[in-house]
Chains A and B, each alone.
Chain A
Amino acid sequence: MFKLTLRNLLARKVRLVMSGLSIVLGVAFLSGVLVFSNGLSTTFDGIIYGSTPDGVVRAKDFAEFDAGYSGTPKNVVTPEAIADLEALPEVERADGDIAGFGMSLLASDGTLVGGTGAPTLAFNYHDGPNMDGGSILELDSGHWPEGTDEIVLDTGAAENGDYELGDEVQLLAPYGEIEQTATLVGTAEFNGGGTAGATLLIFSTEGAQELFLNGHDVYNRVSLTAADGVSQEELAAAAEKVAPDGFEAVTGDKVADESQAAIGEFLGIVKIFLLIFAGIAVLVGGFIILNTFSILVAQRSRELALMRALGAAREQVTRSVLLEALVLSFVASTIGIGLGWLLSRGLAALFRAIGLDIAGNALDLTASAVIVSYVVGVVVTMVAAYVPSRRAGRVAPVAAMRAESPHAPAPLGRRATVGGALLVVGAALAAWGVVGAPGPDALWVGIGAVIWILTVAVISPILGRPVLVGCRAVFGRLFGAPGRLAGENALRDPRRTGATASALMIGLALVSTIGVLAASMNESIDDLVDEEFTADYLVQSVNFMPFSTTVGDALEDVDGVSVVSRQQWVGARYAGDTESVAGNDAAFTDVYDLEVEEGRIDLQGPEAFVYDDFAEEHDLALGDPLDLTFPGGSKLQLEVVGIVKSSEVTAPINVPLEQIENAGLTRQDTSISILMEDGADPETVKNDLDDAASDVPIVAVYDKEGFSDSIRDQVNQLLYIIYGLLALAIVIAVFGIVNTLGLSVIERTREVGLLRAIGMSRRRLRRMITLESVAIAVLGAVLGLGLGLVIGVTLRETLKDDLTSLALPLSQLVVFLVIAVVVGVLAAVVPSIRASRMNVLEAIAEE
């Protein structure tokens, strides 16, 4: 039997390649994602461990990963304190670090380098080793910075900024005097290569002190290197005893763990995100395998019957089909894994383009990626081939004697009943989610949606009939006989058409679900901005990083501006959690109209007002104390004097702006709101504001429309990434259509020959096959887009709190329908050319 199976496979090379392709693509995506996300982790691990010393003395309550956003503490370490640390017997050496947060690099043409994705890290150079004893940085060219006006950039940043050694590098300081320059004297990288996209600004200690610490000979962190035989714990314990007030000593491992946890969260999201799409691709591939094997078994029913007649047992026939699937899945998975390795490099290139650099040597096939890919590829193929293999076993020996090989379609009644029931189950789950099931509501709808999608795939032969009948009518009217024949062919075997269309349906269902959510989100943003955005202009940095107060100073001088209200967001610990705190100046209430529920919002001194939901969560009432701990360890003891309805224009906790400095943090601005004088010309004011802010490319001046556009751009960017990833599922579905059509054409060889004999031209024959393909694609699109709409609307219902408005992306859906038609046309290219090249005589004579 094994020999026969192999012969079967080899005798059908073309079909083998075609059906294998869907598995190849699915597995390629999966293994590509696995290799890529492994590379991502490896790259970050290398940088994190390679840049962390044995121990660190740092400001208390200061998570370095929130640095910048949460505010920059003013705590400093003196050289004397460092000398004390170095004097400890456990300490081999202690090096003072200076880290400047929120500094930006401008390219030689004045545009921002990096900025949106990975962080820009500014620090002083010293040659203290990392925890493995190696150097933290490696010089690529030039020399390390000396004096106050030299800088070393990472190699990538120097390239992106178009800077050569000796050039003046333009910088933007996060506070104080904003425009700075330094001479590029070298380029460097993290030990181990790359920076994962981060931009490195490396100064001499003197230079960093000048920039970030007003020229005082102090530091804001100390790197410790343990003496021989001293563990990290012993080192930290010893250092803790002499650490200055407001500082703590921690082990290098702890710092690395914190960094990993912070990055790991982001990486985890990226990984899961990509794996979901890999899963979809594999699922779609499975559908195609199921369909292909069903068709192959149907076509070979006479041959299988002959085997049965010659004495092959039912199980032997079933097993031979499964064996065929096994060999196919193994070969396809192998190719897929190889392709996936290439794909991981493509993904890395894509991420590099958005500023996340992955070291090339990190993208190696790991044993686990290979094993997982094989297992998934083989299991999915075997599961998909199981049903057709059982059907093969059931072919009666007598079928060998029949002239025709009719695969009389079994009635679909049972499918309809079971499918209908499952749709109801899905609907019930979704409804339960909407009315408030335990746990996240959207999860219930999600489970319901998965049931829906799979059920619709199964009952697509029934649901699809009206669509196909419609196609037949339209095609018949538009294209005459070839059109009607195409419609008939699509209707001929509803299971086959349905299963083929389902592969496309899955992809498009997700596309339209996401489309509904994105459109609703955009609509909600518009509404929200319309309602709450009462400033005439808003000035923020592109990534919501705080910026120097000098920007606001320049804006205040613009003619026609009546009110400039400044706001600084910082992080503070309250009741064990990090909460956002907004420092608002007195003008804030002139610009924004907060809905006061209790008390007042004109704050004086150590007072605060909070959002109603925050007050409820922490059981706060007017007059209650509110003790906050800020980065660097400073505390503020505030009194709650007001409770407002939660809003998007400020943070849950609001304090007077002056209190930010009392909290030991550097004054910066996160958001500046501007009102115009009455009668001022909006256009002139906008232009003047743009001019005033133009020197600082990290900030932008938004009007109402511009602001919602900027948020919308972010939503749409994500949307396009998702569409891009779903495109792969659609590409796989296209292969499914190609495959089905190709097999159908082979099956209908004699029919094609007859049509050609009685006068159908090649062109019309091609058109007939193309139209059949379009009918399949349209069926997939209609089912998918329709189902996606339902899922999207239901999901939106559970996410009502955030997505306050519902919007249907109707024009997008039309575009997708058009894309489906194009997909149908493209899928038919090869099968239709093959059919039209068939020799008429041979086709008629075909047995």
Chain B
Amino acid sequence: MRHHRRSGKVNLMTSAPHRPPVAARAVDLRKVYGSGQSEVHALAGVTVDLEAGKFTAIMGPSGSGKSTLMHCLAALDTPTSGTVEVDGTSLSGLSDKALTALRRDRVGFVFQAFNLIPTLTAKENILLPLDLAGTKPDQAWFDMVVDAVGLRDRLGHRPSEMSGGQQQRVACARALASKPSIVFADEPTGNLDSTSGAEVLSFLRRSVDEFGQTVVMVTHDAVAASYCDRVIFLADGQVVDAIDNPDREQILEHMTALQTLVAAAAGTP
């Protein structure tokens, strides 16, 4: 399956003439840790739209705020200021209960590690968000997702009986099980070997292409990012760059440029 589409780089602020549908949006998002001298701006005014039906990567050097951005977008963390909208719902002022329900019903998660509840089987793990919501799984959708991750024969196994790659694919299936508006993946291949990583990324790609899902992935791996439709670069808590339909070389170039930029900034106080 071909997923590397080439295109020139586009400035994020000069978006396409017709506005595509947006799955999640951040406006002037700021997140400050500590206070006074030790104040750290993890996010220093991020405005970003994440298009529906696209596979977006968020990249940046460590400390750039990419994980914080994702956590804020995914209703796991609350920003110091600015607004987040997920699937048309503004998160500002929502109670913990409402945020929990939103995560459960409209957001899917794949973490770097420890994605599964060890006491539950693969199938039970996949259906857990639906169980928590008390909704019946859509059998056809479930079958489609399970077949897509290729784990039908592993449904009765517990996480301890599966390889790391298989566990991550179960996590992906769980993220999709409730047909969320958006799936957030935090370094989903960080702990995997390249073959297993490729399987997971291919699946995420397919979920976008075939099922029309929206996937946002935080990664520092150029190969992983090359599976995406768009890569957004963060540095020092700000969006500094973005490219559409990138390939690995382009991403590496941008990364190197970015690192030089950051290093230069650090060198000139």
Asked whether, in the complex, the Cβ of A485 is within 8 Å of the Cβ of B119, the reply is yes
The answer to the question of B16 belonging to the interface, with a C-beta cut-off of 8 Å to chain A, is: no
- Annotate B94-119 by CB proximity to A: 1 below 8 A, 0 otherwise: 00110011011100010101111111
B174 touches A759 (CB 8 A): no
Return B34 CB to nearest CB of chain A, in Å: 15
- B100–A760 touching, CB < 8 Å: yes
Q: Is the CB of A841 within 8 A of B76?
A: yes
B71 touches A759 (CB 8 A): no
B260 to chain A, nearest CB (A): 30
| Of B83-91, B128-136, B210-218, B223-231, the one touching chain A | B128-136
CA A488 to CA B124, docked complex, whole Å: 12
CB proximity to A under 8 Å, residues B106-161: 109, 111, 113-120, 124, 128-129, 131-134, 160
| B residues in contact with A758, CB < 8 Å | 103-104, 109, 128-129, 132, 174
A535 to chain B, nearest CB (A): 67
A490 and chain B: residue at smallest CB distance: B119
Q: A485-B120, A754-B117, A760-B132 known; A841 and B100 CB under 8 Å?
A: no
B253 at the interface (CB under 8 A from A): no
**Is B77 located at the chain interface by the 8 A CB criterion?**
yes
A751 at interface, CB cutoff 8 A: yes
Q: How far is the CB of B4 from chain A (nearest CB, A)?
A: 31
Given the complex, which residues of B lie within 8 Å of A220, measured CB to CB?
none
Closest Cβ–Cβ distance, residue B99 to chain A (whole Å)? 9
- Which chain A residues in 170-188 approach chain B with CB under 8 Å? none
For the complex formed, measure the closest distance between the CB of B250 and the CB atoms of chain A, giving whole angstroms.
31
Nearest CB on A from B155, distance (A)? 16
- Most A C-beta atoms less than 10 A away, residue of B103, B113, B133: B103
Determine the distance from Cα of A840 to Cα of B118 in the docked complex, in whole angstroms: 18
Residues of A within 8 A of B103 (CB): 757-759
CB distance from B106 to the nearest CB of A (A): 10
Considering the chains assembled together, what is the distance between the CA atoms of A482 and B128 in angstroms?
Answer: 10
Give every chain A residue within 8 A of B111 (Cβ-Cβ).
754, 757, 844
In the bound complex, CA of A406 to CA of B118 (Å): 11
Instruction: Choose one: B119, B120, B129; the contact of A759 (CB below 8 Å).
Output: B129
Asked if A481 and B131 make an inter-chain contact with CB atoms under 8 angstroms apart, the answer reads: yes
Whether A762 sits at the interface, judged by CB under 8 Å, is: yes
Kindly list chain A residues whose C-beta atoms are within 8 Å of the C-beta of B100.
756, 759-762
Which chain B positions have C-beta within 8 A of A481? 128, 131-132
User: In the complex, which residues 461-513 of chain A have their Cβ closer than 8 Å to any Cβ of chain B?
Assistant: 480-482, 484-485, 488-489, 491-492
A759→B114 contact, CB < 8 A: no
| Minimum CB–CB distance for B58 against chain A, Å | 16
CA distance A841 to B160 in the complex (A): 24
Contact B128 A751 (CB under 8 A): no
- Per the bound structure, the CA–CA distance linking A761 and B129 in Å amounts to 11
Cβ contacts under 8 Å, A760 to chain B: 100, 104, 132
Contact B134 A480, beta carbon cutoff 8 Å: yes
List the B side residues contacting A704 at CB < 8 Å.
none
Nearest Cβ on chain A to B63's Cβ, whole angstroms: 15
Is A755 an interface position by the 8 A CB rule?
yes
The majority secondary structure among interface residues of chain B is helix
Q: How far is the CB of A374 from chain B (nearest CB, A)?
A: 42
Residues of chain A within 8 A (CB-CB) of B77 are: 841
Residues of chain A within 8 A of B115, CB atoms compared: 754
A573 within 8 A of B: no
Q: How far is B116's CA from A403's CA once the two chains are assembled, in angstroms?
A: 15
The CA-CA distance from A584 to B174 in the complex, in Å, is 88
A750 to B96, CA, bound (A): 19
Select from chain A the residue with minimum beta-carbon distance to B77.
A841
Q: Could you say which residues of chain A place their CB within 8 Å of the CB of B120?
A: 485, 488
Residues of the B chain whose Cβ atoms lie less than 8 Å from the Cβ of A488:
117, 119-120
Q: What is the total number of residues of chain A having a CB less than 8 Å from a CB of chain B?
A: 27
- Alpha-carbon gap, A177 to B113, bound state (A): 92
Interfacial residues of chain B within 191-207, with CB under 8 A of chain A in the complex = none
Name the residue of chain A whose CB is nearest to the CB of B102: A759
B130 to chain A minimum Cβ distance, whole angstroms, is 9
Is A391 at the interface (CB under 8 A from chain B)? Answer: no
A390 at interface by CB-CB < 8 Å: no
Residues in A with CB closer than 8 Å to B113 are 403
Do B132 and A762 touch across chains, with their CB atoms under 8 A apart?
Answer: no
Given known contacts A754-B111, A840-B76, A761 and B119 CB-to-CB distance under 8 angstroms: no
Cα A666 to Cα B71 in complex, Å, equals: 94
By the criterion CB–CB under 8 Å, are A480 and B129 in contact?
no
In the bound complex, how far is the Cα of B124 from the Cα of A485, in angstroms? 10
**Centre residue among A406, A760, A763 by max chain B CB count within 10 A:** A760
Contact of A492 among B76, B105, B119, B132 (CB under 8 A): B119
Cβ–Cβ contact A761 & B101, under 8 A: yes
Residue A764 is within 8 A (CB to CB) of chain B in the complex: yes
Q: How far is the CA of A758 from the CA of B130 in the complex (A)?
A: 10
Name the B residues within 8 Å of A751 (CB-CB).
Answer: 114, 117-118
Let me know if B133 and A759 touch, CB within 8 A: yes
| B134 and A759 form a contact (CB under 8 A) | no
A757 to B132, CA, bound (A): 12
User: What's the Cα separation between A841 and B113 when bound, in Å?
Assistant: 13
Q: Which of A755, A756, A841 has a CB less than 8 Å from the CB of B117?
A: A755
- Which partner residue on chain B sits nearest A406 by CB separation? B160
Docked complex: A746-783 residues within 8 A CB-CB of B:
750-751, 754-764
Give Cα distance in the complex from A412 to B71, angstroms.
Answer: 43
Report the Cα distance A754→B113, complex, angstroms. Answer: 10
Interface residues of A in 269-307 (CB under 8 A from B): none
| A750 vs B97: C-alpha distance when bound (angstroms) | 20
> Considering only CB atoms, which chain A residue lies closest to B115 in the complex?
A754
* Chain A residues within an 8 Å CB radius of B76: 757, 840-841, 844
B residues near A482, Cβ cutoff 8 Å: 132
Bound-complex Cα distance A227 to B97 (A): 91
Partner of B114, one of A754, A762, A763: A754
Query: Do B132 and A759 touch (CB < 8 A)?
Result: yes
For A480, A751, A754, A755, the residue with the greatest tally of chain B CB atoms inside 10 Å of its CB is A754
Query: Nearest Cβ in chain B — how far from A847, in angstroms?
Result: 10
Quick check: B96 and A762 within 8 Å, CB to CB?
yes
- A489 interface neighbour in B101, B119, B134, Cβ under 8 Å: B119
Q: Is the CB of B119 within 8 A of A491?
A: yes
Q: How far is the CB of A602 from chain B (nearest CB, A)?
A: 80
CB nearest to A488 among chain B residues: B119
Residues in chain A near residue B133, CB distance under 8 A = 759
A759 to B184, CA, bound (A): 14
Q: How far is the CB of B127 from chain A (nearest CB, A)?
A: 9
Q: Is the CB of B104 within 8 A of A759?
A: yes
CB-CB contacts of B60-97 with A at 8 A, as 1s and 0s?
Answer: 00000000000100001100000000000000000011
Report the minimum CB–CB distance from B191 to chain A (whole Å).
8
Give the docked Cα–Cα distance between A682 and B134 (Å): 66
- Return the chain B residue nearest A476 by Cβ: B131
Residues of A contacting B129 in the complex (Cβ-Cβ under 8 angstroms): 758-759
CA distance A498 to B129 in the complex (A): 30
Chain A residue, CB-CB nearest to B108: A758
Give B197 Cβ to nearest chain A Cβ, in Å: 17
Q: Which residue of A lies closest to B131 (CB)?
A: A481
Residue of A nearest to B160 (CB): A406
Q: How many angstroms between the C-alpha atoms of A482 and B104 in the bound complex? A: 14
Whole-angstrom CA separation of A489 from B115 in the bound complex: 17
Which of chain A's residues 555-580 have a Cβ closer than 8 Å to chain B?
Answer: none
A484 to B117, CA, bound (A): 12
B97 & A761 in contact (Cβ 8 Å cutoff): yes
Q: Tell me how far the C-beta of B68 lies from the nearest C-beta in chain A, rounded to whole angstroms.
A: 9
Kindly list the 7 A-B residue pairs having the minimum CB-CB distance in the complex, ordered from nearest.
A759-B104, A488-B119, A481-B131, A761-B100, A759-B103, A750-B114, A759-B132
Known: A480-B131, A754-B117. 5 other contacts (CB 8 A): A757-B109, A758-B103, A761-B100, A762-B100, A841-B77
Interface residues of A (CB under 8 A from B): 403, 406, 480-482, 484-485, 488-489, 491-492, 750-751, 754-764, 840-841, 844
A-B contacts, 20 listed (Cβ < 8 Å): A480-B131, A485-B120, A491-B119, A750-B114, A751-B118, A754-B114, A754-B115, A755-B117, A756-B100, A757-B76, A757-B103, A758-B104, A758-B129, A758-B174, A759-B132, A759-B133, A760-B132, A762-B97, A764-B132, A844-B114
